[in-house]
Amino acid sequence: MLAYIGKRLVIMLPTLLLIMAVGFFIMQLPAQDYVSQYVARQGQMGNTTAMLQEELLRQQLGLDKPPIERFFYWFFDFLRGDWGTSFVDSRPVTTIILERLPATLAISSLAFLVSWGVGIPLGVYSATHQYKTGDVALTTLAFIGIGLPDFLVAMFFLVAAFLASGQVLLGLNSPEFVNAPWTLARILDFFSYAWLSVTAVAFTGMALIMRVTRNNMLEELGKPYVLTLRAKGLPERVVIWKHVFRNALHPLVTMFGQVLAFLINGFAITSAVLNLPTIQSVYLSATFQQDIFLAGAILILIAVTVMVGNLISDVMLAWLDPRVRYD
């Protein structure tokens, strides 16, 4: 197993280089770069000075060089720990990411715990009560959750919260707590706002996990070994949770790679709708504005989390199922 993990880690390096190259050159495809967009906006506001300084701005930002040369400069600077400077904020990319990382991990981790912690038990219940009233209700709820995008769910909860309390729960804190130190009062204020975004993001994930769990459980319940276990007189809870549920976990474990990527870039549009100070909203804005260093750094974070998540899911699958072996 250790040899397999080492081999996978070595393979990650050229894969990451390929992702960096493809991502960087895709960001060069739009006809206008950041300077062109900036000059166009300034021209619309009547600032003709920016139009005269277009070439100077492009030289200052390094956009006057060929794309291949810019990529290798960016790549080697990235390896040295210099992730570049944001064109829009004129601040180091690492500073912007570190500012947004705590809120991102807080919302996505809570949404992950809620969606999996609620979705799995509901999926088991739905499978063990097939075609009964509870199963029909949960199946309908799951179809709604899968069919509706999370940002639309967020808007629904936003309107419902406003009608119930008269508050517009945008962001993650009240205005007086935005820049305040983390005290008990700010933590309570955070949860009074965060429940909306967490519920909106977790609702879609919960529906998906519930459907996957239900389908896997039903498939396992129809296999001969379940009939054998029941014939031996084992309690139903032992049959369900010790044997059937463990075998039904395999597809959920293989989804773990997507879970880690979700922690970084799982609800970009919802973040924009709810004005959340997360990496997702920054990534969306940086992509639209051609802020290539900021968008590229976040793209690398997403790629790394996907590869690490896939590796962890493979290791977990081998631990869960003795039949799975890696040379």
- Asked whether the predicted pLDDT for residue 154 surpasses 90, the reply is no
Q: How many other CB atoms are found less than 10 A from the CB of residue 159?
A: 11
pLDDT class of 265 with cuts at 50, 70, 90 = low
| More confident of the two residues 140 and 317 | 140
* SS3 of residue 4 by DSSP: helix
pLDDT at residue 6 is higher than 90: no
Which residues, other chains included, contact 161 with Cβ-Cβ below 8 Å and sequence gap of 6+?
Answer: 167, 169, 196
Q: Which two tokens stand for residue 159?
A: 């309107």
Q: Of 21-25, 304-308, 322-326, where does mean pLDDT reach its minimum?
A: 322-326
> Is residue 284 over pLDDT 60?
yes
**Topology (CATH) of 93-320:** MetI-like fold (1.10.3720)
Q: What is the pLDDT of the chain when averaged over all its residues? A: 84
pLDDT classification of 200: cutoffs 50, 70, 90: confident
CB atoms within 10 A of CB 66: 7
Rounded Cα gap, residues 117 and 212, in angstroms = 14
85, β-bridge pairs: 92
Tell me the average pLDDT across 75-95: 88
Cβ distance 50 to 37 under 8 Å? no
Q: pLDDT tier at 95 (50, 70, 90 boundaries)?
A: very high
Residue 323: pLDDT band (50, 70, 90) is: low
For residue 274, pLDDT beyond 70:
yes
Contact yes or no for 249/320 (Cβ under 8 A): yes
Query: What sign for the dihedral angle of Cα 216, 217, 222, 225?
Result: positive
Tokens of 250: 């395999």
Domain boundaries, the chain: 2-76, 93-320
Residues 6 or more apart in contact with residue 141 via CB below 8 angstroms? 207
Q: Give the pLDDT confidence score for residue 308 in this predicted structure.
A: 83
The proportion of the chain whose per-residue pLDDT surpasses 90, expressed as a percent, equals 14
User: Which segment of 49-63, 187-201, 238-252 scores lowest on mean pLDDT?
Assistant: 49-63
Kindly report the length of the chain: 327
Whether the CA torsion 292, 294, 295, 298 is positive or negative: it is positive
pLDDT of residue 117: 92
Between the alpha carbon of residue 123 and those of residues 127, 161, 166, the distances in Å are: 6, 28, 35
Provide, for the chain, the percentages of residues in helix, strand and coil under a 3-state DSSP scheme, each rounded to the nearest 5.
75, 0, 25
Q: Specify the 3-state DSSP secondary structure of 275.
A: coil
For 216, 220, 252, the CA distances from 122, given in Å and listed in that order, are 13, 16, 14
